[in-house]
Chains A and B, each alone.
Chain A
Amino acid sequence: MSDHSLHLEGAPFLKAENAGLYEPNGSKSMAVCAERSTKHNQELLAQIPYYQDWRTAANGIKDYAIGNLDKLLVEFERNITARGAVVHWAEDAEEANRIVLKIAQENNVKTVVKAKSMVSEEMELNHTFAAAGIRAVETDLGEYLVQLANQRPTHIVTPALHLSAEDVGKLLSEKLNEPYTAEHQALTDIARRHLREEFINADMGMSGCNFGIADTGSFVVVENEGNAGLSTATPPIHVALMGIEKVIPSIRYLPQFLNLLARSGTGQKLTTYTHLFHGATPGRKLHIVILDNGRTKVLADPKARMGLFCIRCGACLNVCPVYRRVGGWAYGWVYPGPIGSIITPHLVGLDKAGKLPFASSLCGACNEVCPVKIDIPHQLVHLRHRAVNEPSPMNLMSERFIWRAWSWMFQGPKRYGLAMWAVKLGVRLAPFLPWHPDKLGAWTRGRALPQVPARGSFRKWWRQEGKDLKPQEQPNNKG
């Protein structure tokens, strides 16, 4: 760990929209973990000669699926309903909450055990349960810890990435009256003992959905801890939450997606458990809530469609140099990191999340690791374009004025010369200014300004010498 050093100076960029959330306190361990995840999956991916072809194919399959959502979702519903499941459609989080609560109340549910689901985070379902007096227990270890700590996940796959073993030890001793330990196995044993009771006593179990399969009417939940298996099989009712974008056309494509998901998500060849649900088992109830919650708004923007291809592996978070430093909470909503920056503005609106697309140096690391090849950096610039033209915190008259002026100055060599003369004058004078305003101050708070060369511009050199350079007759030292 000592050879990793990370600087945590970065501030949350959604400060105003971020009220009530905390700064990650364990960012250093978080960044180290994120970096390690990236290394692991790069090692695994290097073993697959056809990896790039898989990505391309997965992108194609998702492209087809998102383009035919209307047909595939109905096919999925028809097939799984035929085997006793009940499918519910929810337009937004509120409607989904109402549906889930109604199922719980009709069945007199007191306690719900929940496997990991990002859709549930989107819905803030736990608040709905709490308000109705129903106990909801997160059973994914990371989610369990985050719930105990009264926090939000910092990562979509590894929700408690920000907590070190010491943090976890303190948390468990404080909340569960257990003796303090920072030893991994002992910590897991404590959580396991407490959760086992919850599984046995729960009246209802919930899960997310990694893939909905149209042609067989099945859905898939992957996990590593066994908690999703227990959450869905122990209580008499299973309610699964599924975003509309989760459907794939056929079970034939599943192995490829499982491969890509595990390798990209956690650097495993396959997750420890892969559950396929084909319908309600005798004597039990299965409900599936299919949620839109803004996803169809992405469909309305043809350039943004790829955002819906996401299979929630988290690889773009792990590799993102910005995410590694600011952590998940800084993004202000459920989906952090590069994928959050391209889907959150659609789901909650640019007026609220307009700053997110700017939280990137556009380095493109996210696109390189994305198992379904979402062109995240290109989506980011597209959303920036929208953010400065539509109602959003980035649509500022002052900034538009600056770029208008810049544009005019750069549309002719004479004006350009004048603009550059002014810039160089500014750079020369900067050391004598008592303080540096705005963008200049943003640069000089940690960086020296470039030095203005005494010799003048390249243009000047070209006029004096460059234009007379003679191409040498024979290319020497050819490669």
Chain B
Amino acid sequence: MTQPHSSPEHKWEYPKYEPGETVALFIPCYIDQFFPEIGEATAKLLTKYGVPLAYPEEQTCCGQPAFNSGYWEEARGVIHQFCKAFESYKWIVSPSGSCTAMCRVFFEHVDPDERIVGIGRRVFELTEFLVNILGVTDTGARYPHKVTMHSGCHGRRELGIFNQPLTLLQNIRDIDYRELPNIEECCGFGGTFSVKMPGTSLAMGKTKVENIVKTGADVVTSIDISCLMHVGGILRRDKATRHIQCKHIAELLVQE
């Protein structure tokens, strides 16, 4: 399967990684607090490929919730906090397409300062770091389950990340990969959209859930657990779909 409606501007020029260079982990706030196992899997995956890690504890959030809500002045302070935490690192990797897009694409909307924009551009999403920068396409994982993949819009449309997680996923041993119908349609999460316009957000989420059910998968994975927090919330509300688990792709890639 190729990327839906791939557009050419998504060909980033990835810098070259020299072995031994330290990578700073950017673990988004909701992963830090609600899904720590994803951060752990991310750390284990990167160390497996010889990458020395750091976790700057000054980090909090990329500022996206306020930015998307229009509160750019309030987002700016948080972005400056982000930059303070990560300034000294050449490489920043995050297990989220959406937060990475915020750093790499949207920082400059809030603060066009060269230093801020430059730090934002050093942030890479985990699967793109593995595939495009480390050249890893097979993590040697084994996961004998029926799995479908949800593709988050920010990662795909702002950063062009689609084939990276798909390739990594399909190379997992014994995996039964099921393609999600209408994979390109938004799940309806949209950050604060999910609570500002809950009716519409839920209507979109329910369509996504129906498509997931159609695949017969037991596990839905994605590079974005934020989408899956919303989709999973809907899945768990219904007895018929409660068994379907939501897992971040990093969790599958470390299975042995």
Contact = CB atoms under 8 A, between A and B. Distances in A.
Contact of A478 (B30, B37, B65, B136): B136
A9 B61 CA distance: 32
Interface stretch (A172-180, A201-209, A407-415): A407-415
A77 B229 CA distance: 57
Nearest to A462: B55
B77 A407 contact: yes
Interface of A: 5-11, 13, 42, 52, 321-322, 325-326, 357-365, 367-369, 377-378, 381-382, 384-389, 394, 399-400, 403-404, 406-408, 410-413, 416, 420, 423-424, 439, 442-443, 445-453, 455-462, 466-467, 469-479
Interface in B44-80: 44, 47-53, 55, 57-61, 63, 65-72, 74-75, 77-78, 80
Contacts of B72: 385
Contacts of A360: 190, 193
B205 A447 contact: yes
Interface string B113-153: 00000000000000000010011111110000000000001
Given A52-B7, A362-B193, A443 B74 contact: no
What are the 4 tightest A-B residue pairs by CB atom distance, in nearest-first order?
A: A361-B190, A447-B233, A384-B70, A363-B186
Interface of B: 5, 7-8, 27, 29-40, 43-44, 47-53, 55, 57-61, 63, 65-72, 74-75, 77-78, 80-81, 106, 109, 131, 134-140, 153-154, 157-158, 184-186, 188-191, 193-207, 210, 229-230, 232-234, 236-237
A389 B196 CA distance: 18
B34 to A, nearest CB: 5
Nearest to B9: A52
Contact of A479 (B35, B136, B210): B136
B71 A388 contact: yes
Give the most central of A387, A406, A476: most B CB within 10 Å.
A406
B237 A475 contact: no
A384 B236 CA distance: 32
Given A361-B189, A475-B50, A449 B233 contact: yes
18 contacts: A42-B5, A321-B204, A360-B193, A361-B193, A362-B193, A363-B153, A381-B106, A388-B69, A410-B29, A410-B77, A420-B33, A442-B194, A448-B232, A448-B236, A450-B229, A462-B57, A473-B50, A477-B138
A479 B43 contact: no
Given A361-B186, A363-B190, 7 more contacts: A321-B188, A361-B188, A368-B5, A369-B5, A407-B77, A446-B206, A479-B135
- The binding surface of chain B is classed by DSSP as helix
A235 B31 CA distance: 67
A365 B185 CA distance: 8
A406 B36 contact: no
A407 B8 contact: no
B75 A407 contact: yes
A424 to B, nearest CB: 6
A6 B207 contact: yes
Nearest to A386: B70
B207 A443 contact: no
Contact of B70 (A388, A456, A460, A466): A388
A359 B81 CA distance: 30
Contacts of B154: 362, 364
Contact of A364 (B135, B157, B237): B157
A470 B52 CA distance: 7
Given A365-B184, A466-B55, A450 B48 contact: no
Contact of B109 (A381, A387, A446): A381
A420 B65 CA distance: 15
A381 B195 contact: no
A367 B60 CA distance: 30
A384 to B, nearest CB: 3
